[in-house]
Amino acid sequence: MAILNCENKLQERMQETDLLLQKLQVRHYFRINMEMDETEQTLMEELENAEIALDARQSGKSVKSVDASEMTAEAGLDAEAAKSDILEKMDNKKKEMSLMEEIVQDLEKRWVQIQENALKQPTPAQREKLLDKQLHSLMEQLAAKQAQAEGLVGEIHLKEMELERLKGLWRMIESSNVEGNTARNRFGRSTSEKGSASTDYMVDKLPYSTGGRTEHQERLMLLRSAFVMYILFLNIVVLIKLSF
């Protein structure tokens, strides 16, 4: 509402300025025309009076003498000088009028430039629309980022569940290894209590059992290494997802 009021006030100010400029131009032209008319009328009256005086002197009855001819010549010279002076004043007035017209035209050009600059700048309503558009775009981007974050959270939850499953599997493998070692230890203690024949038999079978145990340990080490590498890979994937 405040923006609309400001815009209305701005439009009113611009209309008042246009009206004032028009009044100023009309008054200026009217005043110049009146001055020119008055000046021209005055000069024309002076010119007519000078011509009348010259004609009266030339047509009057005067004594034909050297003094009369000299006076007539002087009167003619005075009339010509007055006429030249009047014409010069008229030229000066015309120049002043041309100068004033140039000033008015310059003011009009400046005012047109000011109006064009005002039109190029966005109005409060246009700025408000632009801000609303930017806000809507930011809200859409935020919603997209939120959906992406929710998807990442779901993926992380799935990875955590898979990791827990692998940890449970790893604990089962370790417990089975512990049970196997316990059973082998019990079996070893029971066989150590037997006679020499069974001892010889165990000595003969020792290379095979040692070889099987070594192979089992190698498999266990490989499984542990693979499990560690898989967990490391999962952590790297989660970090990459979070970084984006």
In the chain, domain spans: 2-121, 148-243
Q: Judge whether 134 and 223 are in contact, CB under 8 Å.
A: no
189 pLDDT band (50/70/90 cuts)? low
Cα distance between residue 10 and residue 84, in whole Å = 54
The predicted-structure confidence for 127-140, as pLDDT tens digits, reads as follows 788 888 888 888 88
Confidence of residue 5 (pLDDT cuts 50, 70, 90): low
What is the Cα–Cα distance from 238 to 240, expressed in whole angstroms? 5
Q: Mean of the per-residue pLDDT values for the chain? A: 69
* pLDDT at residue 99 greater than cutoff 70: yes
d(CA 150, CA 130): 30
User: What are the helix (H) ranges across the chain?
Assistant: 2-59, 66-120, 124-192, 196-243
Of the listed ranges 39-43, 146-150, 174-178, 193-197, the least confidently predicted one is 193-197
Cβ contact 125:4 at 8 Å: yes
Percentage, residues of the chain above pLDDT 70:
52
Q: Which tokens belong to 94?
A: 């015309």
